[in-house]
Amino acid sequence: MAYRAFFALPAEKFATDDGQVTNAVYGFASMLINLLKAEEPTHVAVAFDVSRHSFRTDEYAAYKDGRGATPDEFKSQIPIIKQLLDAFGIAWLTKETFEADDIIATLATQGEAAGLATLISSGDRDAIQLVNDAVTLLYPVKGVTELARYTPEAVEEKYGVTPERYRDLAALVGEKADNLPGIPGVGPKTAAKWITKYGSLDGLVAKADEITGKAGQSLRDHLDD
């Protein structure tokens, strides 16, 4: 969310007298304060990435390959954001070789097990698969000020699949931001239709020979990719 704030607010309008850019700090703080006021949570934690290296890049070297370098103007603001969280008394977490999303998923799973209603605020669609009756995703649709509330019903309405099947849809369609290829010629609507019909990605693969048309042939051609 801090990264989103960095690009949502013009850097030239947010800086200290000594030149330290603060647009990400300001945007993140504004979003955090608004969330605290609106949701009144009993527990709060913020997760950060450590680096672009993770266990995923060990398994798939091209993961997130092609992304530009993280701007220095953004990186210089992360310590300030962490200081801000310390001042608020809010825990922040990192873990080597894991992404912030992995930490978020762990906390959401632990919260659900403890009987807590959990809110995730993230601009990463990977979090959609975590949504259930106890976990709601607040997903930014405009900068950091407008957040869509993704419940299981909202996810199914938008994507045509249940949250737990969203990862199957993503596997078929691919994720450009993470440099994860999908099946050529297969879009979200076709993927959702297949998953609904066959129940899951595994169910679809088991019946791949039944799929007709160019999309079906493309699926069979790329099963081993």
CATH class as words, domain 1-150: alpha beta
* Residues contacting residue 68 through CB under 8 Å, at least 6 positions apart: none
- 209/19 Cα distance (integer angstroms): 61
Q: Could you give the 3-state DSSP secondary structure of residue 139?
A: strand
Q: What is the pTM of this model?
A: 0.89
pLDDT digits (tens, 9 = 90+) for 3-14: 999 999 999 999
Average pLDDT, the chain: 93
Of the candidates 99, 113, 83, 85, the residue with the CA atom closest to the CA atom of residue 48: 99
Domain 163-221: which topology?
Answer: DNA polymerase; domain 1 (1.10.150)
- 129/79 Cα distance (integer angstroms): 30
- 160/191 Cα distance (integer angstroms): 9
Give residue 143's pLDDT band: very low, low, confident or very high (50, 70, 90): confident
Give residue 182's pLDDT band: very low, low, confident or very high (50, 70, 90): very high
Q: Is the dihedral of CA 153, 157, 160, 163 positive or negative?
A: negative
Of the candidates 161, 147, 225, the residue with the CA atom closest to the CA atom of residue 193: 161
Specify the pLDDT at position 56: 84
Residue spans per domain, the chain: 1-150, 163-221
pLDDT digits (tens, 9 = 90+) for 66-116: 777 899 999 999 999 999 999 999 999 999 999 999 999 999 999 999 999
Specify the pLDDT at position 51: 85
Token pair of 105 as six digits: 């998923």
Is residue 179 a contact partner of residue 172, using CB atoms and an 8 Å limit?
no
- 165/187 Cα distance (integer angstroms): 15
Residue 175 main-chain phi, psi, to 5 deg = -140, 105
Of the candidates 124, 129, 142, 20, the residue with the CA atom closest to the CA atom of residue 81: 20
- 161/194 Cα distance (integer angstroms): 10
Give residue 49's pLDDT band: very low, low, confident or very high (50, 70, 90): very high
